[in-house]
Amino acid sequence: MRHDHATVSATTILAQIAPPTPVVPVKAELGYDTRVPYAVTITCAPAGEDGRTVWELSRDLLVEGLDRAAGDGDVRVRRSPEEPECLLIEVRGGAAVFDASTHEVAEFLRLTFHTVPLGAEAEWIDLEGLVGKLLLGPG
């Protein structure tokens, strides 16, 4: 089934937690692209630093993390035990830990569900395009 391409984004401020140093606010963009319907991105642009860092994670992981601890690999998501309205996103075994507003993350996810309902992601995969790229080979 063909669908028109769409994106969803939301800008937020994450709190980068790196004890014993103070919490650092980091401007971040949450992103969703229907061409990659199972994933969301978090793009961080630390203040005063050049460049940006982009993490891609499963949309399902973010959804699950709103309710309970989720993730076994490079990214883990869970509610903060001290502040339940905060979501902790841990990247690569603690290399980066961010505190995000559960309300803002839930609202962003609601917008992605409006674009591609949960469970309907497979309908957005362009199998013909993927097969075409495989047949063309590298180059």
> Selecting from 3.30.365.10, 1.10.10.10, 3.20.20.140, 2.30.31.20, what CATH number does the domain 7-136 have?
2.30.31.20
Task: Specify the range with the lowest mean pLDDT, choosing from 72-76, 101-105, 125-129.
Answer: 125-129
The answer, yes or no, to whether residue 94 has pLDDT greater than 80, is no
**CA dist list (Å): 64 to 68, 70, 82:** 6, 6, 19
The HSE-up count of residue 90 (CA atoms within 13 Å, CB side) is: 14
**CA dist list (Å): 5 to 72, 116, 122, 126:** 31, 11, 14, 11
Which tens digits make up the pLDDT trace of 46-66?
666 677 889 999 999 999 999
